[in-house]
Structure 1
Amino acid sequence: MFQRKKSRFMGQREKVITSIKSISDLIEEYPFCVPSYQRPYVWGNEQIYKLLNDIYAAFEHDKSEAYFIGTVILYKRTHSGSDETAVYELLDGQQRFTTLWLIAVAFSKTGCNTDLNRFLRYHQNLRIRFSIRNQVEDYFHRLLNEYPASDIASDETVSKDEYLCCIARAVTSITGWLNEINDESKLQDLGRYIYSQVKFVMNIVPKGTDLNKLFTTINNAGLQLEQSDILKSLLLKRLPSDKLHYSKIWECCEQMNASIEWNADRLFPAYDFGTLTDQAPSPLASRETSSDLQNKEGMTLCQILHSDNMERTVTLTDMKSFCLQDFKLSDIVSVSGELGGAWIGTNIPSEVCQIYTESEKIKYIQFKIYSDNYHKGVQLRLSQIGNNIEGEIEWAKGSKKRSSKNDQLLHKDWNHLTEEESSKLEDVTPGREGYGLHAFTIHPYIPHLTTEFRETDPTALPSLACRSIISFPSLLILTYRLFRFRNKQEDIEKSLQENSLLEIFKELVASEEPEKEKAEEVEKFFKLLWTVRWHFDKYIVKWVETEGINELSLIETNISDGNLSYTKREKSCMSMLQSMLYFTTNPLLWLTPFIGYTIDKGDKDTRERQLSLLEFIDNTLSVRQFMENGLSLQALSWKLLEASSIEHDFSNDIKTYLESQLGVHFRHYWFQKLEYILWKEMKDTEEYKNDEKFKRYRFISRNSVEHVFPQHHEFNKTTISPACLDDFGNLALLNVEQNSSYSNQDVAKKKIDFYSKPTYDSLKLKLIYDEEVAYYDENMVYKHRKAMIEKIMQYYTNKVRC
């Protein structure tokens, strides 16, 4: 667990009180307050579901093992000097902490009575108070006074209030997620697990801390190390040579929101991708010397300063500050550097170069090396002043003592090094003999990649317009699973959670093996990481924003005359299936077997065959709930790497399940899966080929079960029995806003609203409202349910086994 370091704004005499807490530890003495200067609650479904799914995965994997959600920073504020009146202000971590409280609310909404109820209040007051935001506290009181969360969320005043809208949606989403479990005993166990085993590091800052400065520092810092940074350092230490080269492979794969070709164009300028083939081109095909480090598209400081002699080496002799004319911080993609001079020893590339963004107007760049048992480095501060960047060397530091352990300091933020660990700027002579920044290169956005193709092809995209569906730590875990499978090892023992990254990789970075064998193993991992990332970019959807709409799409990479461009492919079964999976299934479960397959087969198979394989993977994972062999989803995902067929036809189990009248307790997956089946069927029919609303249809996060015939009819009609209300035929899955817009209206009114929208909220609803619904009754419900189940069963029965 990694904690924030002690802030320089904190008092020197009193120290931060740090402890590990669970919710159960807070019940008796911890009321909390969100200060007025904190931003509103802003978490959306993506963050909420990730937290819930990670907690649930840890719960299923080992109920006795704690799940850590990070760090919170608190300030203990007392009135009249009495601890009895103490309130703990949430300075950092309030989004996660508020989400924990909302999870406790959602448990109470499901009727599941667990110890989490004790977390809701402190004595008779709310556990979490909000300074000067009375509407939030009023809303929380309404939640605890048995108002249905969905009713409150539909309140127009709530949906338009920036402090309430996300909270209301969150409660509805969490409640829906819990309802899917539909097992009272398991829900009770999960509640107990969250109460006692979900833990966080609690830091209480000392009395007298300047809270305004501390809060500003917290928001602007962004300097704490990620586990992936530490893992990179540990892996590189196992390599006897080519550390810089493998470090660049890592960096190339690390930037998930730009394509690997774009990243490689900056980091491996000597490499020519040529024409794209199905096999990932290896960056190891040509070694670069230090003279290759300066990207052909990059600009050295010498060039930026408009020097007449473009070839000479730039040194900063007596130049602690400089100005870059007509240059913007936002144009800097990356930098590379060369450290030299007597103080450094030799002119060598920086082993570690890190950019920290403090704000839109300030960036920090640290260049660091480890040589001759010393660490040495400099930090630049770049500030946007009008149209110019003003830069200065903030410090140059070197270790005071010679030690082989100094290499461990490379990946630390050197702003926090003690005087015992490093020298100060004042102790280092300026110039090449002192500061040691021999030269550095700024790599900006390359204009022709972002403008030229857009002019000729409206579908061409700049690389940075795309957002990955997984994070880099998830890509590392995916790669390591494939690495272990290829080496005939067992799957990762721990659940697949990013916050366990170092634990997951413990075996790979262990040092029991002879150095040569370990180095070869690590090299193989780096090479596989490159290959996995290349196939991920080629075959997996990304978030793309066009005309203000975010949509999951497959991207085509084009290379022409050395230029890169990116074209969004048309909607296809592959992109729609992956979109459905993104919103329903842990991506590591289906990506592992699918990426493994594309690496082995790739373009040797047709797109139809690739689609069939992914449908098979999805189908297998989807029927896990009906299997009696005790396999977890993670184990089933591993088994799918062998591409074995399903041993049993589960279509009748699906039929029996969907004939149950479970209402809000149906797994949301089955609604989304049906949407994919319907879209695949409809896309080639004449009725929908020219239907603009159908063309605009896309998968979104849906988490609210809509009752077509409402549970509380606006005219108190009772033409449908309570059991039929909860029938699959009377239900659809929408997002909170869509569901709220229909409210408790009569079915005929809902139909009018449905067709007045620019796209279809649900294809299942489309089939319902295509019928005459003026006399909507139970027969229509059962008829629709039967038709939908038949489509699902046919889809599962007809799938080709792989």
Structure 2
Amino acid sequence: MNAQVQSHVQSAATLCVQGISLTIPCYQRPYVWPGDAVEELLEQIIQASEPDADGQPVQAHYFIGTVLSSVVPSSANPAASTTYELIDGQQRMTTLMILALAFCALKTGSPLRSLVVLGNVPRLTFNIRDEVQARLSTWAGLAEEKPLDKEDAANPYLVHLSAARKVACDRLKRLRATGGEQALERVGDYLFNQVTWVNNVMPAGMDLNKLFATLNTSGVQLEQTDILKARLMSRIKHHRTTYEGIWQACEDMGNYFERNLRDVFAGVSWNMVGINDLLSHSFDLFSLDRPAAGHALGRSIDQISSMRIQGEQVGETENKDEARYQSIVSFGLLLMHAYRIYRHAQGAKDIGFRVNDGNLNACFSSFVETASAAQAKAFMECLWSVRFQFDRWVVKWVRLGEDDERTLRLSSLSPRKRIISEWRTHLETSDLSQLQSVRYLTGERSAQYWLTPFLGKLIETPGMGEQQVLKLLESIDNQLSLTEMTQKEASYQLLSSGTAESLPIKDKIAYLKEHHGTSFEHYWFQKLEYILWRERRSFGWLHSARLQSYRITSKNSVEHVHPQNEEFGSTLSDHLLHGFGNLVLLSPGENSSYSNLAVIKKQAAFRAKPKYDSLKLAHMFHVLGNGDDWGRTQIDNHVDEMLALIEAHYRR
């Protein structure tokens, strides 16, 4: 291939200044980002835009990755000077447009309108997807809006787009409620100018369908973690192969640590290894005198373009095979938590960077340049302990069977007497797994700050049982939810003192008595779900059969039980309508099943479901009973009981 790949750093401002339009080719799959992933990206952008002491954004730029494209004729948009067809990266670029559309929905005349519209058509177009194009045109104000009918609601090319826009709008409303119009403008300006990506433009004449198929089945390219590994290993001269083995066993987050160890340290007599032997690294048990088998290197663009479509070479069964286990954090993020724990053990201050695996090498830069061999080894040994406790006590996404839904589960190492079994036992839903779900789903998804004090304390006191571990996590969770410090500052302080500067719970109770509507923090709905689950045995109104399949899951839509536009015209005062007692957190799919139905109809639909959507909603319909009046008395009864439960939990 003689022509060169052209790479350009771009932003929304770049697209507008240069008159660039984007098009999604027909061979691309539908937009599939779930609402929580959209909210997580928006949350990271909001945090990156926050001003530092000098009034500048804490991150000069927020990088959303790399896209592959090719230049195509601009026939779809005569106003465009250049049109790029997106070969890879359509999910991210579509999400960027959805975020811009959410800003436009909240703020008439937003500068981001220039991103979503070029000429008199959407800047982003979808080949042969008329229904998607119509929806984007409507959201951009280029066509009259029509309500979604049942067919549209089930359309795979629309369902995730609609859910993503709603999630983004709800988060921006909460931003405006807490920071005012100034905060909304700050984030919008940052999104327009500072959110960047690299556009790799493929040479003309390449078989783009083949390249796209190959990209979705080919090997792993060089990661930040690979770069960090090389820099760390350069500090180690003696026993280097053993430390490379430790790294390799830790970096595979798609399996359990002890299984990785079996693959890497193949010569170990595993019939003599018990749980206590894995708490920390032992040279007597785990050492290598030759390099462990490594991972295949990534492929260059030249190699990718010349490859045959791998789907032609791989059997249908193998193509459909998916990993049974998936970590809740990346290896890069685990490395940053391990580094914080290591620094704390050395009496050092916290890292100066936001905990985000995009900052991985910047975070370690000073350490890898100055670390002695002993310090590099000590960090690697700390990483071993962190990874072991992570797999022992932190939930993983697990798919037990081929058709099973992924769920967050803890597992047991299943020791036979003193010896570790080769297989794990996946545990049923427990208080510990439910509370971790709350923290994972409502915290800063790119950081998971709770992991630093949680894993650090587990390493300090490795002999704790499940109830002690639960008590530890409840303490961490309670303090992180009440602190006035940043989550980063509080999580590091909890490593030392076990306490963080916290507001009294009565202040949060007062907040929950106000009427914030969709601007309420999602955390308090999920925390209440955990408290109701924890105290489930004391409630006669919960049914055990429906509880068996209940799990705290990702939900990002605060919905009114008494609708804002009720089908029969029934109304409530704003204080009741938008208060905590009339609100519930649901997924977009659960919400659509209720819509604007009268409360009594929602109750009937809720009771007909085989499992609970929400324990809070179960209590609301318990209070409603067999009547049809969901008014002040019922709402006050519900909210008083719920707030009493929250307060009691924090005072235990």
TM beyond 0.5: yes
Q: Who is 2:307 aligned against? A: none
Q: Does 1:555 align with 2:411?
A: yes
Q: Which residue of 1 aligns with 2:279?
A: 280
Q: Which amino acid aligns with 1:51?
A: L
Q: Distance in 2 between matches of 1:669 and 1:88?
A: 40
Tell me which protein shows more strand as a share of its residues: 1
Question: What are the within-5 Å matches in structure 2 for residues 539-554 of structure 1?
Answer: 539-546=393-400, 548-554=404-410
**Letter aligned with residue 61 of structure 2:** A
- How far apart, in 2, do the equivalents of 1:777 and 1:82 lie? 56
Q: In structure 2, how many angstroms separate the alpha carbons of the residues matched to 1:778 and 1:632?
A: 37
The CA deviation at 1:781 is 1.7
Equivalent residue runs for 1:675-754 within 5 Å: 675-685=529-539, 688=542, 691-718=544-571, 720-754=572-606
Unaligned runs of 5+ in 1: 1-7, 291-348, 364-380, 390-462
Distance change (3 Å), C-alpha of 1:693 and 1:147: farther
Aligned partner of residue 203 in structure 1, secondary structure: strand
SS at match of 2:422: strand
- Structure 1 residue 105 and structure 2 residue 94: aligned? no
Counterpart in 1 of 2:336?
A: 477
SS of the aligned residue for 1:354 comes to coil
Q: What are the equivalent positions in structure 2 for 1:279-318 lying under 5 Å apart?
A: 280-286=279-285, 288=287
- Identity between Structure 1 and Structure 2 (%): 34
Q: Distance in 2 between matches of 1:691 and 1:654?
A: 31
Change (3 A) 1:488 1:60: farther
Q: Which moved more, 1:530-539 or 1:548-557?
A: 548-557
Does residue 599 of the first structure (1) align with residue 450 of the second (2)?
no
One-letter code aligned to 1:41: Y
Counterpart contact for 2:413–2:421, Cα < 8 Å: no
Residues 536-595 of structure 1 show CA distances to partners (whole Å, capped at 9, x for unaligned) of 111111122246132212100124477412112232221111111111113531010010
Pair 1:535 & 2:389 matched: yes
Structure 2 matches for 1:151-300, cutoff 5 A? 155-181=149-175, 182=177, 183-184=179-180, 185-271=182-268, 272=270, 274-277=273-276, 280-286=279-285, 288=287
Contact 1:543 1:551 in 2 (8 A): yes
C-alpha displacement of 1:75: 1.8
Q: Deviations over 1:583-614 (max 9, x none)?
A: 111353101001000000122x4433322221
- Which residue does 1:576 correspond to in 2? 434
- Is this contact kept in 1: 2:79–2:119, CA < 8 A? no
Deviations 1:676-729 (A, max 9, x none): 1111111355664x61101211011111112111111111122x1234211111
Q: Contact conserved, 1:662 with 1:727, CA < 8 A, in 2? A: yes
Cα distance in 1 for residues equivalent to 2:204 and 2:375: 51
Could you tell me how far 1:217 is from its partner in structure 2?
4.2
Deviates more, 1:767-776 or 1:81-90: 81-90
Deviations 1:302-332 (A, max 9, x none): xxxxxxxxxxxxxxxxxxxxxxxxxxxxxxx
Please report how far the alpha carbon of residue 226 of structure 1 lies from its aligned counterpart in structure 2 after TM superposition: 0.8
Distance 2:338 2:152 in 1: 44
CA distance in structure 2 between the aligned counterparts of 1:763 and 1:783, rounded to whole angstroms: 16
Distance 1:382 1:520 in 2: 47
* Structure 1 letter corresponding to 2:454: F
Task: Map 1:588-667 to 2 at 5 A.
Answer: 588-603=448-463, 605-624=464-483, 627=484, 631-667=485-521
Alignment of 1:138 with 2:134, yes or no, is yes
Distance 1:108 1:278, change over 3 A: farther
8 Å Cα contact 1:559-1:565 kept in structure 2:
no
Q: Judge conservation of contact 1:78–1:87 (CA < 8 Å) in 2.
A: yes
Q: Which residue, 35, 41, 47 being the options, matches 1:57? A: 47
Instruction: For 2:546 and 2:556, locate their aligned partners in 1 and report how far apart those are by CA, in whole Å.
Output: 22
TM-score normalised by L of structure 1: 0.72
Q: Is the alpha carbon distance of 1:485 and 1:519 closer, same or farther for their aligned partners in structure 2, counting shifts above 3 Å?
A: same
Alignment of 1:42 with 2:37, yes or no, is no
Cα distance, 1:278 vs structure 2: 8.2
Q: Please tell me the residue identity of whatever aligns with 1:660.
A: E
Please tell me whether the aligned partners of residues 173 and 703 of structure 1 are also in contact (alpha carbons under 8 angstroms): yes
Cα distance in 1 for residues equivalent to 2:251 and 2:374: 22
Q: Deviations over 1:202-248 (max 9, x none)?
A: 22334444433443443344342111111111111111122221111
**Cα separation, 1, equivalents of 2:144 and 2:423:** 50
Cα separation, 1, equivalents of 2:498 and 2:144: 46
Partner of 1:355: 296
Q: Distance in 2 between matches of 1:82 and 1:736?
A: 36
Out of 102, 118, 124, the position equivalent to 1:122 is: 118
Quote how far apart the aligned CAs of 1:500 are. Answer: 1.7
Counterpart AA for 2:263: R
Q: What is the rounded CA distance, in whole Å, between the counterparts of 2:421 and 2:560 in structure 1?
A: 52
**Gap change, CA 1:122 and 1:352, over 3 Å in 2:** farther
- CA distance 1:386–1:698, change in 2 (3 Å): closer
Report the AA paired with residue 246 of structure 1. Y
| Cα 1:33–1:25 shift into 2, 3 Å | same
Q: 1:281 to 1:520 in 2, by over 3 A?
A: closer
CA shift in 2, pair 1:488/1:679, >3 Å? same
Counterpart residue number, 1:372? none
How many residues are treated as equivalent by the alignment?
A: 620
Pairwise CA distance, 1:283:
4.7
Cα distance 1:287–1:613, how it changes in 2: closer, same or farther (>3 A)? closer
Contact 2:482 2:503 in 1 (8 A): no
- CA 1:48–1:82 in 2, change beyond 3 Å: closer, same or farther? closer
Residue-by-residue CA offset, 1:369-422 (whole Å, 9 max, x unaligned): xxxxxxxxxxxx9996889x9xxxxxxxxxxxxxxxxxxxxxxxxxxxxxxxxx
Structure 1, residues 767-787: CA drift from partner, whole Å, max 9, x if none? Answer: 110123401112322332222
SS at match of 2:155: coil
Q: 1:24 aligns to what?
A: 13
What stretches of structure 2 of length at least 5 have no aligned partner?
Answer: 305-309
Moved more, 235-244 or 699-708: 235-244
In structure 2, relative to structure 1, the CA distance for the partners of 1:59 and 1:785 (3 Å cut) is same
Q: Within the alignment, does 1:793 sit opposite 2:647 as a pair?
A: yes
Q: Cα distance 1:466–1:224, how it changes in 2: closer, same or farther (>3 A)? A: closer
Q: Distance in 2 between matches of 1:599 and 1:254?
A: 19
Q: Which amino acid aligns with 1:353?
A: G
Q: Tell me which amino acid in the other structure corresponds to 2:348.
A: Q
> Would you say 1:506 and 2:365 are equivalent positions?
yes
CA displacement, residues 620-653 of structure 1 (integer Å, 9 cap, x when unaligned): 21124xx3xxx32211111111134355552121
**Secondary structure of 1:783's match?**
helix
- What is the match of residue 766 of structure 1? 618
2:474 maps to a residue whose letter is: E
Which amino acid in 1 is paired with 2:250? C
The AA in structure 1 aligned to 2:394 is: I
Change (3 A) 1:555 1:671: same
Structure 2 letter corresponding to 1:697 = Y
CA distance in 2 between partners of 1:610 and 1:220 (Å): 40
Corresponding residue of 2:376: 522
Give a deviation string over 1:153-210, Cα, whole Å, max 9, x none. x642233222222212211222233233223222221121111111111223344444
How big is the shift at 1:731?
Answer: 0.4
Is the CA contact 1:74–1:202 (under 8 Å) kept in the aligned structure 2? yes
Tell me the C-alpha RMSD between the 2 structures: 3.0
Q: Distance in 2 between matches of 1:504 and 1:211?
A: 37
Q: Is the 8 A contact 2:26 2:128 kept in 1?
A: yes
Partner of 1:36: helix, strand, or coil?
A: coil
Kindly provide the amino acid, as one letter, of the partner of residue 498 in structure 1.
D
C-alpha distance in 1 between matches for 2:286 and 2:450 = 35
Report SS of the residue matched to 2:562: coil
Amino acid at match of 1:713: E
Letter of the 1:591 counterpart? L
